[in-house]
Amino acid sequence: MPQTTHKRTILIVEDEPFLCEMYKTKFETLGYKVVTAENGKEGIELMRRENPDLVLLDIILPVMDGYTFLKVVRSDPELKDRLIVIFSNLGQEEEITKGMQLGADDYLVKSDHTPTELLKKVESVLAKGKSDRADAAKPIRVLLIEDTREIIEIYTERFKHENFECQVAENGAWGLKVAQTDSFDVILLDLMMPALNGLEALKTLRATPKLKDIPIIVLSNSAEPHDIEEAQKLGATDVFLKPRVTPSQIVNRIRELVKR
């Protein structure tokens, strides 16, 4: 792997000396300048002094943990645009979601990555960091295709609270037209609707070139296995039963899918 032509700085915030030294050596071998901190508080101080291009952040730390570190950095005008990759032993879905919601640019689980794989991930984040950061400033745009007024009110209110932009279409035919003419990050689709049912809408959405890869979350009142299987076969990213999923869970799933 070639050395970097421009000597970028990486801050490693890690309290395990062996791991810290191993990663430091790996990055320095390839031409990076590396500074290290053993706790979050020291990491903040080094960010101000060294102005690193990227921070590799553990979560379980003395003095100040990684989550608090993220909160401090993302609320500081001088530091908020720095690239931060979490590298932690914590790998549960709720922990990953929390880290991404607090502003991490990526979340890597230590046991899943060798030092060489970690390096590739870091280089990938550095390469696309500026464009990703610009995208992160944009609100997530959601198209909600749903005809039940109560569901519409619950979800639009929740999305407003999350600073999502939400457009509503109250039947499948109208939702299809809006999806094809406007741009969205994710589509929430009811199955039982007037004008065009959800399965037919899903089939047409996936046949539209600009929409073939967009996340589509199906919300259904039907627990019939054949409805769920058909939705999955037609290209639904996820299928949730309305009585068994909360708006908060949908918000978390949207953030995972959009990764902002």
pLDDT at 70: 94
Phi and psi at residue 160, in whole multiples of 5°?
-60, -40
pLDDT at 128 over 90: no
Confidence label for 192 from pLDDT (cuts 50, 70 and 90): confident
The closest alpha carbon to 84, from 23, 131, 46, 129, belongs to 129
Q: How far is CA 139 from CA 166, 184, 204, 250, in A?
A: 10, 10, 26, 16
The domain defined by 9-136 folds into Rossmann fold (3.40.50)
pLDDT at 217: 97
Average pLDDT, the chain: 88
For 42-55, what is the mean pLDDT?
Answer: 95
pLDDT at 47: 96
Beta bridge partners of 193: none
CATH 3.20.20.370 fits 141-258, yes or no: no
Domain boundaries, the chain: 9-136, 141-258
pLDDT at 6 over 70: no
| CATH topology agreement for domains 9-136 and 141-258 | yes
For 107-131, what is the mean pLDDT?
Answer: 80
Confidence label for 17 from pLDDT (cuts 50, 70 and 90): very high
Summarised one tens digit per residue, pLDDT across range 58-93 is 999 999 999 999 999 999 988 988 899 999 888 787
Confidence label for 2 from pLDDT (cuts 50, 70 and 90): very low
